[in-house]
Structure 1
Amino acid sequence: MTEEIIIAGFGGQGVLSMGKILAYSGIMQDEEVSWMPSYGPEMRGGTANVTVILSDERISSPYLKMYDTAIILNQQSMDKFEETVKPGGTLLYDPNGISQHPTRTDIKIYQIEGAKLAAEMGNKKIFNMVVLGAFLKIKPIVKLENVIEGLKKSLSERYHYLIPLNKEAIIEGMGNVSPYTIEEQALPN
């Protein structure tokens, strides 16, 4: 099993953290892992993306042009990465701030209202964990207990008190992801 993932959005949305937690989770499962971040000099507010590869075989290169899964958190990332999902692959996105929804019919598309759910839970910073939960529901490639271990590794110890809230956010995301279907446009008469 090899899963090649791109996670993309604005800096400050937890894109790199989500990738790092997935990578640590894979390590906890004795998988081969690659984590390759990319972000602009602005960081917060600028675009950010991370490529994560989890595999039970050696990873030959962390550089990819096509992905099994794209997790998209803003319109710029949708514009850039929708076409990089392999046919038959998966695209997961938060519709908040998306003006042009995905249009491909050769991939599986899912939506998660991550920003809305995080706000309803009282902490917008858990947005990325809601989205991660949605991804894990669609593709349970790492176990929840390993994700919690990944959180412990990636969060500074002074923030470990937030781990229960993050776990709650992951579970919330798992329960609220839904398939997105491309609606056929009516042909003119």
Structure 2
Amino acid sequence: MAYHSVIAAGFGGQGVMLFGQILSMAAMFDGKFTTWLPSFGPEMRGGTANCTIIISDDYIASPVVDEPSEVVAFNLPSMIKFEKTLKENGILIINSSVIDKRPHREDIKIIKIPANSIADELGNIKVSNMVMLGAYLKATKAVSFKSVEKALQERLTGKKNEMININLEAIKAGMKEVVK
């Protein structure tokens, strides 16, 4: 049975919540059970933000995750906070554009993605979250690319619709980065 428990975390404004929403929607489109639980710090802007996503082939008893199988850290404070919660042999994906410290754990897989640099090369720093999503997809195969594409089309409507292509480019770039 496939089961993924993910914590995605960063500063508010880094696209952490959209990362989680797209991942959770894609899981639904793949016919899986899923939960998405957002958590915000007390600050109005620039504070911490994280979300927990569970993807399962079976019913999910609770959306709360104490020991995630994967952590996606968009910034250093998030890596420091959530690295220690990862299950043994879990996956830690870090945005190496902003995290210059090495994680302490030796019993986990560490994937460094220069998400901000890649997003900047694509022409829009705001898609760094989708670069991280692409890395997550490649590392875990938790959901299909086709379902992620469908989730983006459902979520980015109206004026945001013009952002679908660059977001898809960012996801593909993140996927390629994991192969390196």
Task: Provide the TM-score with structure 2 as the length reference.
Answer: 0.95
Describe the superposition over 1:15-40 as per-residue Cα deviations: whole angstroms up to 9, x where unpaired. Answer: 00000000000000111110000012
User: CA shift at 1:68, angstroms?
Assistant: 0.3
Equivalent residue for 1:182?
A: none
Describe the superposition over 1:97-141 as per-residue Cα deviations: whole angstroms up to 9, x where unpaired. Answer: 324320211111101000011011110011101111111111111
Q: Which secondary structure does the structure 1 equivalent of 2:45 belong to?
A: coil
User: CA shift at 1:156, angstroms?
Assistant: 3.0
Q: Which secondary structure does the structure 1 equivalent of 2:14 belong to?
A: coil
Q: Letter of the 1:78 partner, please give it.
A: M
Equivalent residue for 1:133?
A: 134
Cα–Cα, structure 1 residues 82 and 178, in superposed 2: closer, same or farther, change >3 Å? farther
Equivalent residue for 1:173?
A: 174
User: CA shift at 1:152, angstroms?
Assistant: 1.8
**Partner Cα distance (2:164, 2:98) in 1:** 27
Equivalent residue for 1:56?
A: 57
Q: Letter of the 2:99 partner, please give it.
A: I
**Partner Cα distance (1:48, 1:22) in 2:** 16
Cα–Cα, structure 1 residues 173 and 99, in superposed 2: closer, same or farther, change >3 Å? closer
**Partner Cα distance (1:80, 1:159) in 2:** 32
Q: Which secondary structure does the structure 2 equivalent of 1:134 belong to?
A: helix
**Partner Cα distance (2:14, 2:44) in 1:** 10
Unaligned runs of 5+ in 1: 180-189
**Partner Cα distance (1:100, 1:23) in 2:** 29
* Alignment of 1:143 onto 2:144: yes
Would you say the 8 A contact 1:111–1:178 is kept in 2? no
Count matched residues. 179
**Partner Cα distance (1:97, 1:80) in 2:** 15
Q: Which deviates more from structure 2 when the two are superposed, residues 94-103 or residues 75-84?
A: 94-103
Note the aligned Cα RMSD (angstroms): 1.3
Would you say the 8 A contact 2:156–2:163 is kept in 1? no
Task: Provide the TM-score with structure 1 as the length reference.
Answer: 0.90
**Partner Cα distance (1:44, 1:178) in 2:** 35
Q: Which deviates more from structure 2 when the two are superposed, residues 132-141 or residues 95-104?
A: 95-104
* Alignment of 1:70 onto 2:80: no
Q: Which secondary structure does the structure 2 equivalent of 1:52 belong to?
A: strand
Equivalent residue for 1:96?
A: 97
Q: Percent identity?
A: 42
Equivalent residue for 1:186?
A: none
Q: Letter of the 1:48 partner, please give it.
A: A
User: CA shift at 1:63, angstroms?
Assistant: 0.8
Structure 1: which 4+ aligned runs deviate by more than 4 Å?
none
